[in-house]
């Protein structure tokens, strides 16, 4: 809560850009309508992160569900800075749908040159 207020204040005085994504942790896998645009929902069991769920930043409405489990392949890692801006590693490449290929860094979207998404914003 305090983090959200501080982030809003820093955006308001233009010290930081508005992040494309923020992070939220839940215990149960969300239904598609429980994953709003601009939010990465991390599903946790005990203290282990299992899934990262979010909507495509390209605007196609696609929904990503990335495995965070260390023994699964492929798998991603998610981290957040002190303002709750997430980073995902490695890049996300949607081979079907809009063809988006991007990184999420400090809440922002960094598009890859080979992305085929028509709605990408540089």
pLDDT of residue 122 exceeding 60, the answer is: no
Q: Provide CB contacts within 8 A for 29, sequence distance 6+.
A: 43, 51, 53
For residue 71, give both structure tokens: 């023994």
Structural domain for 102, as ranges = 20-111
In total, how many domains does the chain have? Answer: 1
Asked if the structure places residue 40 within a domain, the reply is: yes
Asked if the structure places residue 121 within a domain, the reply is: no
Instruction: Give 4-43 pLDDT, tens digit per residue.
Output: 888 888 888 888 788 889 999 999 999 988 999 999 999 9
Percent of the chain with pLDDT over 70: 96
Query: For the CA atoms of the chain, what is the radius of gyration?
Result: 14
Percent of the chain with pLDDT over 90: 50
For residue 41, give both structure tokens: 């929902």
Strands 77-80 and 63-67: unpaired
Asked if the structure places residue 2 within a domain, the reply is: no
pTM of the full structure: 0.84
């Amino acid at each position: 809560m305090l983090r959200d207020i501080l982030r809003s204040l820093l955006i308001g005085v233009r010290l930081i850009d508005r992040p494309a994504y923020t992070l939220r942790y839940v215990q149960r896998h969300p239904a598609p309508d429980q994953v709003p645009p601009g939010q990465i929902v991390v599903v946790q069991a005990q203290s282990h992160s299992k899934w990262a769920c979010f909507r495509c930043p390209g605007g196609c409405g696609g929904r990503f569900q990335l495995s965070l489990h260390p023994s699964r392949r492929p798998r991603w890692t998610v981290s957040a800075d002190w303002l709750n801006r997430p980073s995902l590693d490695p890049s996300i490449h949607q081979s079907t749908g809009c063809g988006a290929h991007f990184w999420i860094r400090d809440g922002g979207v960094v598009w890859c040159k080979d992305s085929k998404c028509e709605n990408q914003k540089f």
